[in-house]
A and B are shown apart, each in its own frame.
Chain A
Amino acid sequence: MALEIVYFAWVRERMGMAAEMVELPAGIATIGDLVRWLAARDERGARAFAEPQRIRAAVGGAMVGPDTPIGDAVEVALFPPVTGG
């Protein structure tokens, strides 16, 4: 399944890119699975996702938790806690 992942703030900097298209391997069902897979995939992922508790995610505009299924989402955003205002 093809999925676009978009990165923001220091997650984007550590990944060295703002977005990528990935082909999800079998068994990656939730946001938490995706973060663990990215952390294990390469050195950049290991640096960006070393502390999964500091990672937030959004699908289709809604903030979602690590147990949320990716389902048929076309874009998942991964980023640090927000700091606007």
Chain B
Amino acid sequence: MIRVAVQAAAIDVAAEYAGHDAGGHGASASFVGRVRGDDGLVELFLEHHPLLTERGLIALGEEAAARWNLAALTLIHRVGAMVPGDTIVLVLASSAHRAEALAACEYLIDRLKTDVMLWKRETFADGRAAWVEERGSDRERAERWE
């Protein structure tokens, strides 16, 4: 019921959706996060822990399943080098009713940003590279769920 993956390969949103929705659930909510090409960004690199990043996603999925009555959950995060337009993260949450699916989907993406071992490094067209700083607004959104 909970599918979690941390992968270097491109996320195939259509294939993931087809697999997730095989149960014919009443309501499915989705979130797709993509790399933005702001300020001349040419590469986004996602660093991760070989074991604990996936374990963190599993823990989040289990927490969502305990909070809401979910029929299926898919949580996939890409790692390694990406370019603008690539999908970084996919969240699919299904339930009999929309309220639970929507809430679980929002919870998962909010908490993922502050609780899971992943780090973004941006490289720009002029060769400049920098690690992304934590955003206070992300922390505030995640704390709403506590």
Q: Which residues of A contact B (CB under 8 A)?
A: 6, 8-10, 12, 58, 61, 63, 77, 79-85
Most buried by B among A10, A63, A83, A84: A84
Q: Which residues of B contact A (CB under 8 A)?
A: 33, 46-49, 51-52, 55-56, 59, 77, 88-89, 109, 112-121, 131-135, 138
Q: A80-B134, A83-B132, A84-B89 are in contact. List 19 more A-B contacts (CB 8 A).
A: A9-B47, A9-B121, A12-B47, A61-B52, A61-B56, A77-B117, A79-B117, A81-B114, A81-B133, A81-B134, A82-B115, A82-B117, A83-B134, A84-B46, A84-B117, A84-B118, A84-B119, A85-B77, A85-B116
Contact of B52 among A12, A77, A81 (CB under 8 A): A77
Contact check, A10 vs B115: say whether CB atoms are below 8 A apart.
no
A71 to B47, CA, bound (A): 27
Taking CB atoms, residues of chain B closer than 8 Å to A9 are 47, 119, 121, 131
Residue of A at shortest CB range from B46? A84
A55 to B46, CA, bound (A): 18
Contact of A58 among B52, B119, B134 (CB under 8 A): B52
Contact of A82 among B33, B51, B59, B119 (CB under 8 A): B119
Contact of A85 among B48, B49, B113, B117 (CB under 8 A): B113
Taking CB atoms, residues of chain B closer than 8 Å to A84 are 46, 48, 77, 89, 112-113, 116-120
Taking CB atoms, residues of chain A closer than 8 Å to B46 are 84
Residue of A at shortest CB range from B54? A61
Taking CB atoms, residues of chain B closer than 8 Å to A61 are 51-52, 55-56, 59
